[in-house]
Amino acid sequence: MKRLLVILSISTLLFTGCKRGGENRIIGQYHLVQVYADPGDGNGYFTEVDSDKTLTFYADGRVMCNGNMCVPTLSTDNPTSGVYSSDDLLIMSDDCSSTLRFQSFGDEIILEYTCIERCDHKYVRE
């Protein structure tokens, strides 16, 4: 009986004491490769773009962009930075008038902008 209690206690610690994954999987640099455009009828799609715009996520919670991450533009003339939450999938920046939402799919990050019609930007890990 004592042995069973020890085994149950150890099993409980193993399953509840560790955070699954343990690391932040979005850390790294991403390059803008596609933008989503919707003509207003719900039939939008991603199209390839030629841009040098990058997003870099750091382990300490910072995110930096070599362009303006606050607006859906391809240019790299106005660098911006902020902090992110990988749990809430949010980017907060003093440079932006609102909080940005993002999605993470393996080596892809999609920034969701507040537009009348959907206008997301897709970044791929470099």
Greater pLDDT, 100 or 23? 100
Q: Is residue 21 part of a domain?
A: no
User: Residue 102 maps to which CATH number?
Assistant: 2.40.128
pLDDT at residue 36 above 80? Answer: yes
Q: Is residue 9 part of a domain?
A: no
- Alpha-carbon 29 to chain mean position: 11
Q: Is residue 19 part of a domain?
A: no
Q: Is residue 33 part of a domain?
A: yes
pLDDT (0 to 100) of residue 39: 81
Q: Is residue 80 part of a domain?
A: yes
Mean pLDDT of the chain: 85
- Tell me, what DSSP letter sits at residue 99? P
pLDDT (0 to 100) of residue 12: 44
**Residue 101 bridge partners (DSSP):** 90, 112
Number of domains in the chain: 1
pLDDT (0 to 100) of residue 62: 98
pLDDT (0 to 100) of residue 100: 97
Q: Is residue 7 part of a domain?
A: no
Q: How confident is the model at residue 11 (pLDDT cuts 50, 70, 90)?
A: very low
Domain, as residue range, for 63: 26-125
Q: Is residue 15 part of a domain?
A: no
* Helices and strands in the chain: count of H runs, count of E runs: 1, 9
pTM of the model: 0.78
